[in-house]
Amino acid sequence: MLSAKQQRGFSMVEVLAVVAVLSLMLAALAPGVMDWVRAARVRNAAEAVYSGLQKARIEAIKRNVPVTFWLVSAPDSGAPPGKDCGLNARSASWVVSLESPVAQCHIGPSTTSTPKIVTAHGAGAVAAGVSVAGLSADGTTPATSVTFNPLGQTTMNSAALSRINFDHEAKSARKYSVQVSAAGDIRLCDRVVESATDPRRCA
């Protein structure tokens, strides 16, 4: 049989003490958790664009025709780019197609129907707080598209996408970039890394 002491349970003072300790622990952990969430959002947006560029390059080689990757506007709801889409150098949403998808992003994948979309991606809420900047080779001029030829190289010109920067409105978050070379090489790199020997460093 349990003694009276064993049966009494927890006092209000003990419960309050536990709650206070847990609150302090959560307060200490909260900034780190938020930094992790922000970094994950930036990286996820960058990885999605990286995958889209790889898809465009692979399809150009496979189909033996030029295929283009386009940054396009899309609803904030997370839905894929719609029929009112336009080219947007500051969007994390994209389309891979053989022809310009402007105002035609809603058309399903097809090898015959204009704009001959291969695939489309809407960044949506996953990229909340993430800012994007598609840039040409000069590093300052906005750019929205890059075309890969059947050899997997870019048909690079002064207006083609060469770098896409990803940042978060919280300045403490990681800063990623996706770089595209004239040879068709595609890299995801970390702009915070400064060591010349670290493979994550941006060129």
- CATH code, domain with 157: 3.55.40.10
CB neighbour list of residue 41: distance below 8 Å, 6 or more residues apart: 126, 127, 128, 129, 130, 168, 173
Question: What pLDDT, on a 0 to 100 scale, did the predictor assign at position 92?
Answer: 92
104 is a domain residue: yes
Q: Which residues pair with 148 in a beta bridge?
A: 67, 154
The pLDDT of residue 3 is above 80: no
pTM of the entire structure? 0.81
40 is a domain residue: yes
The pLDDT of residue 26 is above 70: no
- Per residue in 30-83, pLDDT (tens digit) is 455 566 677 788 889 999 999 999 999 999 999 999 999 999 998 866 678 989
The pLDDT of residue 91 is above 70: yes
198 is a domain residue: no
Q: Which residue has the tokens 């969007």?
A: 91
4 is a domain residue: no
- Per residue in 115-151, pLDDT (tens digit) is 999 999 998 777 778 899 999 999 999 999 999 999 9
200 is a domain residue: no
The pLDDT of residue 6 is above 60: no
Question: Mean pLDDT score of the chain, rounded to an integer?
Answer: 86
The domain in which residue 95 lies consists of 13-190
Q: How many domains does the chain have?
A: 1
Given pLDDT bands bounded at 50, 70 and 90, which one contains residue 194?
confident
38 is a domain residue: yes
Question: What pLDDT, on a 0 to 100 scale, did the predictor assign at position 109?
Answer: 94
Burial of 133 (0-12, 13-18, 19+ CB in 10 A): middle
Given pLDDT bands bounded at 50, 70 and 90, which one contains residue 12?
confident
Question: What pLDDT, on a 0 to 100 scale, did the predictor assign at position 151?
Answer: 96
Nearest-5° angle of CA 77, CA 78, CA 79? 95
What SS3 class is residue 131? strand
Question: What pLDDT, on a 0 to 100 scale, did the predictor assign at position 20?
Answer: 67
- Of the listed ranges 18-27, 75-84, 111-120, 173-182, the least confidently predicted one is 18-27
1 is a domain residue: no
203 is a domain residue: no
